[in-house]
Amino acid sequence: GAVVSQHPSWVICKSGTSVKIECRSLDFQATTMFWYRQFPKQSLMLMATSNEGSKATYEQGVEKDKFLINHASLTLSTLTVTSAHPEDSSFYICSASPLTSGRRTDTQYFGPGTRLTVL
């Protein structure tokens, strides 16, 4: 249980285009989803916290107009990288915290990640 999926698993795009990444909680509802970015051989860095039905909270230094987050339902959050550039190439990972149903609501379950390469 507590499965989180991401789509696509990898994407290659041209510089200047926009890319949308989906994060879904498959067997639970998630009040909160988190988006992380991980560069090669580095740790996970939190980009933003996404709450269903409200605006995302971005970490310092993360451009909200560049990384658009939409959390339209309790099982889906999307991250859109707008006008992507090569420096946005990274591994993007989402996590989700359960609403309830016997699971700790503070536990984060991670998706498998999306590898973005911008040419």
Instruction: Give Cβ neighbours of residue 16 (< 8 Å, ≥ 6 apart).
Output: 83, 84, 85
Rounded to the nearest 5 degrees, what angle is found at the Cα of 113, between the Cα atoms of 32 and 62?
60
- For residue 115, list its beta bridge partners: 10, 91
Side-chain-facing half-sphere of 108: CA atoms under 13 Å: 14
- The phi and psi torsions of 73 (rounded to 5 degrees) equal -145, 175
Residue 46 makes contact with other proteins by CB under 8 A: yes
Q: Least Å distance between CB 45 and other proteins? A: 7
Rounded to the nearest 5 degrees, what angle is found at the Cα of 57, between the Cα atoms of 51 and 60?
155
Chosen residue from 67, 69, 81, 111 binding other proteins by CB under 8 A:
111
- Count of chain residues binding other proteins (CB under 8 A): 28
CB closer to other proteins out of 20 and 103:
103
- Name the one range near other proteins by CB under 8 A: 14-22, 70-78, 87-95: 87-95
Per-residue binding string, other proteins, 88-107, x by CB under 8 A, is ---x-x-x-x------xxxx
In the range 6-45, which residues lie near other proteins by CB under 8 A? Answer: 6, 32, 34, 42-45
Q: Which residues bind other proteins (CB under 8 A)?
A: 4, 6, 32, 34, 42-46, 49, 57, 59-60, 91, 93, 95, 97, 104-113, 115
